[in-house]
Chains A and B, each alone.
Chain A
Amino acid sequence: MPEYTRLIHNYLRHDKKFPHVWCPGCGNGILLGSLIRAIDKTKFSKDEIVLVSGIGCSGRLPVYVDFNTLHTTHGRALTYATGVKLANPSLNVIAIMGDGDSMAIGGNHFIHAARRNIDITAIILNNSIYGMTGGQYSPTTPYGMRASTAVYNSIEQAFKISELAVTAGAVFVGRQTVYNAKLLDTLIERAILKKGFSVVEVITHCHTQYGRQNKLGSAVDMLKWQRDNAVPVDKAAKMSPEELEGKIITGVLVDKDLPVYEEEYEKVRARAKGLA
């Protein structure tokens, strides 16, 4: 049996009525493939994985895969993930969010989850737009770009998700494009295996909304743009800010160790019982 057939049979839900909700050419499916390959490499059993999502196109991802799956409210995925992980630390918790989901309505939960350093993997699909609701500008829509609520172009500055995650205290932060799916596989695998709060920012395209409104071409054109503008982090270190304008810095931005919440809480339990 070819490898992809084995993965499909093992990880996709047979009783879920396909097809999925995403547009043909969407990058969400590429991320789903990467995620499955990464989880398969980690050797965690399906029972040990809890996949949590919020609302939006990204929020629909967990329903297709055969894990413990939890499709929560808009922006709140990390709060549910926090409860799941702290109540049963033996579970491996992965939260899938979009850019609006994690940075706008869920921005506060995101920075506090990063600060708290619970062992959760946060994967953010950043397509620079609210896709499901029809292409409104999001916190990551670049200045000057068009959206259905910014037909005179966006006048807001965009969040840099990964840089925000680093500042908020995440112990592992990486960014990759869906074009570089192989690199995305290994990045996600590392993030899952990392103890503590880890973030993977996935640069993807929404040709249906963002691409159409900004005349960026087809899904293939937008994938080529990712290929041509991704700069690995070590190469970016040698470039000037002007040269990096409009580029996507990819790779691991931070990988450090800090006390993990669940392990610290075990010490709290010991102190509370007068044992330490």
Chain B
Amino acid sequence: MSKGKQPLLLQGNEAIVEGAIAAGCRFFAGYPITPATEIAEGMSVKMPIVDGTFVQMEDEIGSMGAIIGASLTGVKAMTATSGPGFSLMQENLGFACITEVPCVVVNVMRGGPSTGLPTNPAQGDIMQSRWGTHGDHPIIVLCPHSVEECFYVTIKAFNLSERYRVPVILTTDEVTAHMREKITLPDPETLEIIDRVRPNVPPDWYIPYEDNSIGVPPMSAFGDGYRYHVTGLVHDVRGFPTSRPDEVDAFIRRLHRKIDKGLSYIQEGEYFLMDDAEVAVIAYSSVARSAKQAALLAREKGLKVGVFRPITLWPFMRQAVEDILKNVRAVIVPEMNMGQYSREVKRVDQGYARIVTLNRVDGQVITPDDILRKLKEVY
């Protein structure tokens, strides 16, 4: 990691590399894909310097498998991809969910479906990041909107994955990934870094999936003397496959409970000019930048507009959104998709406020003007 207080001019993708290393990531497996490739390139250069490991796999399925394997040995691991690769990762992502293996998956969103628009931004993977892998599972998805935030949110992604033993998806878009901004990397000692809790009982006493007050069992590393079984089948507290209804139910409910109990720690959002706002814009990733600019322009014209920007996309920030809906007349949800996050906003709206969507799917960023125009219509 680059040291000192010297400001750097970095891309979002490069800031993610720096954030990962600062968070303690020491294993990266990946496969080239636009617009995420700079992350793999950066990791291939920096991992060996910090005694970590970089490996270029044969595909994204392999990348996902490799980071789970690495994490099982106690090493923090990450992969990075974009839409088509993210789709390929879904099966093994589910494995990380059911086996509770911490890892971070970066998805730099580009236009889709399929090969789509490889070099253009989009926000079409919001629902895939939540429900991409099959089965009922909790997941954490974070979304930075600036280069500096790419650094800090990457660290948060690792911290949450280690604390809750879940895969965490860090979702950005092509704009955030390739935009260059000034960033001053902090002194590593000032950062809060969380490592998974390891068992402190003798191996004979270790029950690898035993419930506790936080619902997150301590995790031993392969080779540490706690020989246990890891399986993608639903398993009992000892890790052995089970289909006993009481054991299955307790297991699936624990997976959800550990996230539900951590919501206040997991969920983070930015309130911009929201104190006296009569109309709110709810936006995330690069669109939030346009939203903030639009709010400033609107305020110049006397319109009381604020922006709420969820950094935690999933679990959905229900409480925060409900509170906003109760305090404004209308909410605009601009997205570079046909309406994904806005569906969630509508879902929790009990007639509190009018919800207006603004969708752009031409591979171009939603501009401040686009949002301002909509604001004037709605206000």
Interface stretch, picked from B137-145, B163-171, B227-235, B364-372, is B227-235
B227 adjacent to A47 (CB under 8 Å): yes
A91 touches B222 (CB 8 A): yes
Whether a CB of chain A sits under 8 angstroms from the CB of B116 is no
Cβ-defined partner of B49 (8 Å) among A67, A83, A272:
A272
Residues of A within 8 A of B221 (CB): 88
0/1 string, A13-29, CB within 8 A of B gives 1: 10111000000000000
CA distance A80 to B222 in the complex (A): 13
B66 to chain A, nearest CB (A): 4
Question: In the complex, what residues of B have CB within 8 A of residue A66's CB?
Answer: 227
A-B pairs, top 6 by smallest CB distance, nearest first, are A83-B69, A79-B65, A87-B70, A83-B66, A272-B48, A80-B69
28 A-B contacts (beta carbon < 8 Å): A15-B240, A52-B69, A66-B227, A68-B228, A69-B228, A70-B229, A70-B230, A70-B231, A72-B95, A72-B232, A76-B61, A79-B62, A79-B63, A79-B64, A81-B69, A82-B55, A83-B71, A84-B222, A87-B69, A88-B74, A88-B222, A91-B73, A91-B222, A91-B223, A109-B62, A112-B58, A265-B53, A272-B48
Whether B296 sits at the interface, judged by CB under 8 Å, is: no
Task: Tell whether A80 pairs with B231 under 8 Å between CB atoms, given A63-B240, A73-B91, A108-B59.
Answer: no
Type the 1/0 row for A44-56, where 1 means its CB is closer than 8 Å to any CB of B. Answer: 0011101010000
Question: Please, what's the 1-or-0 string for A158-184, where 1 marks a CB less than 8 Å from any CB in chain B?
Answer: 000000000000000000000000000
Q: What residues of chain B lie closer than 8 Å to A70, measured between beta carbons?
A: 69, 72, 222, 229-231
Task: Identify which of B27, B49, B61, B62 contacts A87 (C-beta below 8 A).
Answer: B27
A71 CA to B101 CA, complexed, in Å: 13
Interface centre among A13, A62, A73, A273 (most CB of B within 10 A): A73
Q: Which residues of A contact B106 (CB under 8 A)?
A: none
Contact present for A73 and B227 (CB under 8 Å) = no
Query: Beta-carbon contacts of B198-242 to A below 8 Å, as 1s and 0s?
Result: 000000000000000000000001111101111111000010110
User: Chain A contacts of B71 at CB under 8 A?
Assistant: 83, 87
Q: With A73-B95, A83-B27, A88-B222 in contact, is A63–B229 under 8 Å at CB?
A: yes
Verify if B75 is at the interface (C-beta below 8 Å from A).
yes
Residue B67 interfacial (CB < 8 Å) = yes
Main secondary structure of the interface of B (DSSP, over half): mixed
In the assembly, what is the distance between CA of A46 and CA of B75, in Å? 21
Q: Which of A63, A88, A271 interacts with B73 by CB under 8 Å? A: A88
Whole-angstrom CA separation of A265 from B53 in the bound complex: 8
Task: Looking at the assembled complex, report how far the CB atom of A10 sits from the nearest CB atom of chain B, in whole angstroms.
Answer: 12
Cα(A42)–Cα(B24), bound, Å? 35
Per the CB 8 Å criterion, the residue count for chain A at the interface is 42
CA distance A88 to B26 in the complex (A): 11
B79 to chain A, nearest CB (A): 10
Which B-chain residue is minimally distant from A86 (CB atoms)?
Answer: B53
Q: Does A269 contact B (CB under 8 A)?
A: yes
Question: Which positions in B face A, CB cutoff 8 Å?
Answer: 26-27, 29, 45, 48-49, 51, 53, 55, 57-59, 61-75, 77, 91-92, 95, 221-225, 227-233, 238, 240-241
Contact among B53, B57, B231, B238 for A71, CB-based, below 8 A = B231
Q: Please judge, given known A-B contacts A68-B223, A81-B69, A83-B27, whether A73 and B92 are in contact too, CB under 8 Å.
A: yes
Contact residues in B for A271 (Cβ distance below 8 Å): 48
* Cα distance A56–B303 in the bound complex, in angstroms: 63
User: A265 touching B48 by the CB < 8 A rule?
Assistant: yes
Taken together as a complex, chains A and B put the C-alpha atoms of A211 and B77 apart, in Å, by 44
Contact B230 A71 (CB under 8 A): yes
Chain A residues lying within 8 Å of B231, measured Cβ to Cβ, are 63, 70-71
Residues of B within 8 A of A269 (CB): 48-49, 51
Task: Give min CB distance, A58 to chain B, whole Å.
Answer: 14
Would B223 and A47 count as touching, CB distance under 8 A? Answer: yes
A contact residues around B65 at 8 Å (CB): 72-73, 76, 78-80, 82-83, 109
What residues of B have a CB within 8 angstroms of the CB of A16 in the complex? 240
